[in-house]
Chains A and B, each alone.
Chain A
Amino acid sequence: MTPASAPDRDALAPFARSARAQPYEVAIWILAALAIVLFPGHAALWNEIAILTLFAVSLDLILGYGGIVSLGQAAFFGTGSYVAALFAKHAMNDPLAGLAVGAAAAALVGLATSILVLRGTDLTRLMVTLGIASILYELANRFDQITGGADGLHGFAMRPLFGRFAFDLDGKVAYYYSLSVLFVLFLVARAVVHSPFGYSLMAIRDNRMRATAIGIDSNRRLAAIYTLAAAMAGAAGALLAQTTGFTSLDSLDFHRSADVLLVLVIGGTGYLYGGLIGAVVFVVMKDVLSAATPQYWQFWLGLILVVIVLVGRERIVRPWHALADRLRRRP
């Protein structure tokens, strides 16, 4: 195929430049870095948002990009959380080492269980992922001499980060630790979704038959993203354990999987920042509503979920989806 003339660079620009960092992205991360400076009294909240964002991004990778519907992402979150806690308690309480070990453990669980989510309908996957998370929950419950059972694990504190930054009481170090880990892993996720691998995932999601017909090994690609997402969820869980000095069965509980799904429902899937927006809205909403009716936050959560679904996810999140679309398309 000899080209009649050189490709028109300007005409190709919308696609060719689509991986560039957009101004709104820079703004978001700067704001994130300043958040704890601007609102220092809410350090724990900011930390929670950062961790939940990471967790949500991990789900977005498999749900928004890979098309795998999961009700069991807590399996990996909890694995990372417990492994990091146990590592700090019994082996070494260096935060980065614990983070790596926690994420790796979650990745292993993800890889091992990935074979179960490659086939089947949405419903099958929902049940299988739910089943896997439930199994892990049961295991953690039964082997309570290791996991602390319903009481959870505590009594471990982290060594200063890099030997210099001690985890202080006002939570600044914890937040910047979580934020930095989030930022790094976010960059990884961002690179992945713009890569040929990322596009192949979306192809598998949109039309698996066609993807196979152009030579894509769907099973292997899905297993890969599932493992990566598991590692990221595990990192989020590890962060939670390390920054709060505590973990429990709650990290494996069904409500964690449901919460993170709601975060993506609020923020939108398939563009990575949905996790961040959803996490901010979710945590703030939860804080406000919990103050009003402490035990019954769950009711409002359920109501919001019902309303969002009834009204239509698109209709609610369309305002900022449209915005995100427009921002994405500008070269």
Chain B
Amino acid sequence: MNPPALVTRSLYKRFGGITATQDVTLTLPQGARHALIGPNGAGKTTLVNLITGMLPPSSGAIELDGHDITRLPAHRRAQRGLVRTFQINQLFGQFTPLQTIALVVAEREGMGARAVRALCRSTSVVDEAAVLLREFHLTDVMHSKVVHLPYGKQRLLEIAIAVAGQPRVLLLDEPGAGVPAGESAEILDTLAALPADVAVLLIEHDMDLVFRFAQRIAVLVNGALLVEGAAADIARDPRVKAVYLGEASHA
């Protein structure tokens, strides 16, 4: 059997006196549709940063497709197919969507270091980018600078970048953030259209999105895993309800 797509083992992260991540052990099998939920400040984004290599762990290990990547630099993890989206759009402001996706495709194909032939003359790259943009309904804005795009389009581009990388493991950090309820259907469509062999971890607050998407859910509270299981079980779990209800009663 294939090794799981992503594994974290006893991941810890301490900042001075604060333990942001506490003994987190997660397994993402191939083709997973998992979600990670938890109250604000639970450390979900910290965990993503640890997995992708933006933060070094205080202790613990991370494996991608059975290979230990704990000490691998962030860009190398991305090259191996560990891709994430950001909670706040992280785009290249001066690029157009077409330029952005073309660059992502070129990097994926290992052409990123080539300095002689123009990017725009690479027909296969440009064509693939055009196709992807059409799938994300970005064709009509593909020549507009990203800074000029409305938020919804920027959010779609954020996810398109991740998909363009043909990831093995995809970590989606609150893809629905800031998107009005009417437009989140587009987000859900793109999530549903993700290839079956990609392992997806969805971090979300929008429970609607979570329960429609995820097979298994992990609940993170104060940096530690409270419980992890099948979506239906989590929905019924009294501890999970207490965590969220407890949060609601403080609100």
Residues of A within 8 A of B (CB): 1, 3-4, 7-8, 11-12, 14-19, 191-192, 194-200, 202-203, 206-207, 209-218, 220-221, 224
Contacts and interface: CB of A to CB of B under 8 A. Distances in A.
Contacts, number: 138
B69 to A, nearest CB: 13
B107 A1 contact: no
B119 interface: yes
Interface stretch (B4-12, B129-137, B201-209, B217-225): B129-137
A198 B52 CA distance: 25
Given A15-B120, A199-B119, A210-B91, A215 B113 contact: no
Contact of A202 (B92, B113, B115, B142): B92
Contact of B143 (A15, A207, A224): A15
Of listed A194, A199, A214, A216, residue having the most chain B CB within 10 A: A214
B111 interface: yes
A221 B107 CA distance: 12
Main secondary structure of the interface of A (DSSP, over half): helix
Closest 7 CB pairs of A and B: A19-B118, A215-B78, A194-B118, A197-B115, A215-B79, A7-B130, A210-B90
A195 B117 contact: yes
B231 interface: no
A15 B78 contact: no
A309 B179 CA distance: 38
Given A15-B120, A18-B120, A198 B115 contact: yes
11 contacts: A1-B135, A7-B126, A12-B130, A17-B120, A194-B119, A198-B119, A202-B95, A207-B91, A213-B75, A215-B78, A220-B113
Contacts of A213: 52, 74-75, 78, 83-84, 86, 90
Contacts of A1: 128, 131-132, 135
A200 B113 CA distance: 8
Contacts of B35: none
Given A15-B98, A214-B104, 8 more contacts: A15-B96, A15-B143, A16-B121, A196-B106, A196-B119, A199-B106, A203-B95, A217-B76
A192 B115 contact: yes
Given A209-B90, A213-B83, A213-B90, A12 B98 contact: yes
Contacts of A3: 127, 131
B130 to A, nearest CB: 4
B112 A200 contact: yes
A270 to B, nearest CB: 8
A200 B107 contact: yes
A330 to B, nearest CB: 12
B104 to A, nearest CB: 5
A195 B119 contact: yes
Interface string B68-89: 0000011110110001101000
B103 A200 contact: yes
Contacts of A202: 92, 94-95
Interface in B192-239: none
Contacts of B131: 1, 3, 7
